[in-house]
A and B are shown apart, each in its own frame.
Chain A
Amino acid sequence: EIVLTQSPGTLSLSPGERATLSCRASQSVSSSYLAWYQQKPGQAPRLLIYDASGRATGIPDRFSGSGSGTDFTLTISRLEPEDFAVYYCHQYGSSPQTFGQGTKVEIK
């Protein structure tokens, strides 16, 4: 199975700053079938990005995804207070589907 490793584990930033989250796969992700989810405490995850760079319906354009093969990035251009949460990458190109362990974006 494909192992997804996210870094850093925790990102401490201030509102208005830029956040760059990394997701590295143990083998190439087929057709860039990689998504990003945001999860806040006590809530289900929320789809942000699909196919590595597609923005899901209703997601603000400050969220962007990039990458291919084994290296993927989620960028939040300017952090809003509601963006402080945990972010997971998810590959769906190979079975079983797998998730990264998450990156927590916290207020500095």
Chain B
Amino acid sequence: QVQLVQSGAEVKKPGASVKVSCKASGYTFDSYYMHWVRQAPGQGLEWMGIINPSGGSPYYAQRLQGRVTMTRDTSTSTVYMELSSLRSEDTAVYYCARWVTGTTVGFDYWGQGTLVTVSS
């Protein structure tokens, strides 16, 4: 079965960086785009960007440009999201989500979420 398993919770100081991983299994890794979505405590969802696991340049939300980097490792079927120059406003649960097209369109599988806390 399809699974997206994310790395564990992180606590970081302002100005630091964090790298969250998302390991995919149960399907052909490079056949589906992967997105990252975050959710601040008690708030709504914010789209962060997209990466094509088969290659090509990722595409990031403009408000995160320069601070976010998405990469992938096809040998381990893992995508990564790194966010730098962390601020308190970056405290959130970060999700990876698989994008499906065809008979259904949308984020059909999600990781379990990774809580990143930014605090001095």
Contact = CB atoms under 8 A, between A and B. Distances in A.
Whether A and B are associated in the same complex: the answer reads yes
Interface of A: 33, 35, 37, 44-45, 47, 50-51, 54, 56-57, 88, 90, 92, 95-102
B29 interface: no
B29 to A, nearest CB: 19
Contacts of B104: 47, 50, 54, 56-57
A44 B45 contact: no
Interface size on B, as a range, is 20 to 34
A44 B106 contact: no
Interface string B34-71: 01000000001111000000000001011000000000
A45 B110 contact: yes
A106 B18 CA distance: 35
Contacts of B111: 44
Contacts of B113: 44
Contact of A102 (B44, B61, B95, B106): B44
Majority DSSP secondary structure for residues of B touching A = strand
Majority DSSP secondary structure for residues of A touching B = loop
A47 B44 contact: no
Interface of B: 35, 44-47, 59, 61-62, 95, 97, 103-108, 110-113
Given A44-B110, A44-B111, A88 B45 contact: yes
Contacts of A101: 44
A56 B108 contact: yes
A43 to B, nearest CB: 9
Contacts of A95: 59
Nearest to A51: B105
A54 B44 contact: no
Nearest to B46: A99
Given A50-B106, A54-B105, A56-B106, A97 B44 contact: no
